[in-house]
Structure 1
């Protein structure tokens, strides 16, 4: 994902939501591969880096489409366009270093409320 796309994403969130996109948000990150075992190795690495495991799942597939898996991890953190771009570059390299098919990108939502 290039910088102009991320800039547009941040702008869109500012215009269409009441989220504080500049503050702590719940960022989810996705990796795909045909091997759930490879993704579980990556899961361990990501957990050591402070990410929480959410799910390992097979998406809905079209008939005849080869089976593959998604690894979903998340962490509450703050990002700017540039810091998110850097995080994405890190994850592309991490996927490559671990022999993972792809780093598939991220999603974002409000951070969960803390119970005081």
Structure 2
């Protein structure tokens, strides 16, 4: 996601939610790989950096779609458009350094929707 898309995402959140973009939100980050093993390695690295590992899963596929696996991690933090752009670049580099094929982007929600590891 480039900075233009990030700016549009922030504008959309401001217009369509009552979330405080100047405060903590739950940011979810997603990584994709053909096999799960590199994702598990990256998950350990990200846990060491304060991320919560939500899951490594194999999504339901459309007919003819090749199998792949997804790592979903979360962290409660505050971002501006610029800091999120920087984080995306950092996570892309981390994925590459750990043999993961793709950093697939992020989602965001209010803190009350944070994944509770106790309810896994």
Q: TM-score, normalised to structure 1's length? A: 0.94
Runs of 4+ deviating beyond 4 Å: none
Q: Corresponding residue for 1:101? A: 101
Q: Which runs of 5+ in 2 are unaligned?
A: 114-120
C-alpha distance in structure 1 between counterparts of 2:62 and 2:10, whole Å: 32
1:72 aligns with 2:72: yes
C-alpha distance in structure 1 between counterparts of 2:30 and 2:21, whole Å: 20
Q: TM-score, normalised to structure 2's length? A: 0.91
User: How large is the Cα RMSD of the aligned pairs?
Assistant: 1.1
Q: Which runs of 5+ in 1 are unaligned?
A: none
- How many residue pairs end up in the alignment? 113
Secondary structure, in 3 states, of the residue corresponding to 1:60?
coil
C-alpha distance in structure 2 between counterparts of 1:3 and 1:67, whole Å: 30
Cα offset for 1:4? 1.1
